[in-house]
Structure 1
Amino acid sequence: MNNLLAISLIGIGATATMDLWNLVRKFLFGMTPPNYAMVGRWLAYMPQGRFRHTAISTSAPIRGEHFIGWTAHYATGMAFAAVLVAFAGEPWIYHPTLGPALAVGVATVAAPFLLMQPGMGAGIAARRTPKPNVARVHSLINHGVFGLGLFATGWLLQLCYSM
């Protein structure tokens, strides 16, 4: 299998795993899933030179923000899968192991903590949210699930490839 294709599929699978987890959380615990339209809005303002918002939800909506946000969400998942392969080495694609996938998954929480949340008005590591510690724990769990998704998708691809 082409490595670029494998990395893309692993990233898509891991991102979908996280999205499924968010649906389970909504069903079981009544927790609102992330709104990727807000990510799209944040990104759509960047070409206009606006990188930081007081509260992204109060910024004017941008046409196509849902599509932009969801596309960025999955593109980021594929980029993080590439980080995993760069970190663990190309052989990981053919012999996936949990440790590196989980480590990279948890490490990806740096993106929302240090880039997205401050840029969207929530502050570093959600410090400006009503319950920052709760938000932090949920971000860590979500990114841990992403790491599990990296491993599970890599394992499934390897299983399918070996058949």
Structure 2
Amino acid sequence: MFDFLFSAIVIGAGGTALLDVWNLVLHRTRGLPLPPWHLVGRWFAGMRRGVFVHTRGISQSPPVDNELRIGWVMHYVVGIVFAMALLLLWGTHWAHAPRFFPALVVGLVTVGAGWFILQPGMGVGIACSRAANPAQARWLNVAGHVVFALGMYLSAKVFL
């Protein structure tokens, strides 16, 4: 059990960290906005009050205490949960002899969590359908999850 949890933390945090680097590179080279982790924190915090969907958009909901901190923590928690899914599907032995394909499968499948849970919950619609540029948002979602997959693979390869 310890090997499973330790591996999931290393793999999930590593994949999430590479995704954060990717977002920073896109921000600095392409001028794309950084992910609004404070709004993600607001969404997660709202769940405690029974608010799971912000139909007018999460930015219209009142701020909550520590929403930025909550958003960052949950960003990494979700990455670790996705790494747990990878290890549950392919076994903890994957962490010690990783192959990229399983990480890619999990990375691509988890795009659906954003498209069908997070984004509708935050009021952006299914697959960012209400975003200013839905096609760009979708492409960035897919590319980001491929980067996340690469980060999971490299974290297992380098650190485990």
Tell me what 2:64 maps to.
Answer: 62
Q: Residue 120 in 1 paired to residue 84 in 2?
A: no
**Partner deviation per Cα, 1:14-56 (whole Å, 9 max, x = no partner):** 1000000001111111111111110100111111111111210
Give the Cα separation in 1 of the matches to 2:29 and 2:77.
28
Equivalent residue pairs, number: 158
CA contact (8 A) 2:42 2:63 kept: yes
Identical-pair percentage:
41
Tell me what 2:144 maps to.
Answer: 142
Q: Residue 30 in 1 paired to residue 31 in 2?
A: yes
Give the Cα separation in 2 of the matches to 1:47 and 1:81.
25
CA contact (8 A) 2:119 2:126 kept: yes
CA contact (8 A) 2:41 2:71 kept: yes
Tell me what 2:157 maps to.
Answer: 155
Q: Residue 2 in 1 paired to residue 3 in 2?
A: yes
Give how far 1:2 is off. Answer: 2.4
- Give the letter aligned to residue 39 of structure 1: V
Moved over 6 A (4+): none
Give the Cα separation in 1 of the matches to 2:133 and 2:113.
19
Tell me what 1:87 maps to.
Answer: 89
Give the Cα separation in 2 of the matches to 1:133 and 1:119.
19
Give the Cα separation in 2 of the matches to 1:19 and 1:89.
26
CA contact (8 A) 2:18 2:151 kept: yes
Tell me, what secondary structure is at the counterpart of 1:2? helix
Tell me what 2:77 maps to.
Answer: 75
Give ranges in structure 2 of 5+ residues lacking alignment.
Answer: none
Give the Cα separation in 2 of the matches to 1:4 and 1:129.
36
The alignment's C-alpha RMSD in Å is 1.1
TM-score (normalised: structure 1): 0.94
Tell me, what secondary structure is at the counterpart of 1:48? coil
Give the Cα separation in 2 of the matches to 1:98 and 1:123.
31
Tell me what 1:21 maps to.
Answer: 22
Give the Cα separation in 2 of the matches to 1:151 and 1:37.
28
Give how far 1:106 is off. Answer: 1.3
**Partner deviation per Cα, 1:49-99 (whole Å, 9 max, x = no partner):** 111112101111001101111110000000000111112122101100000
Give the Cα separation in 1 of the matches to 2:42 and 2:126.
19
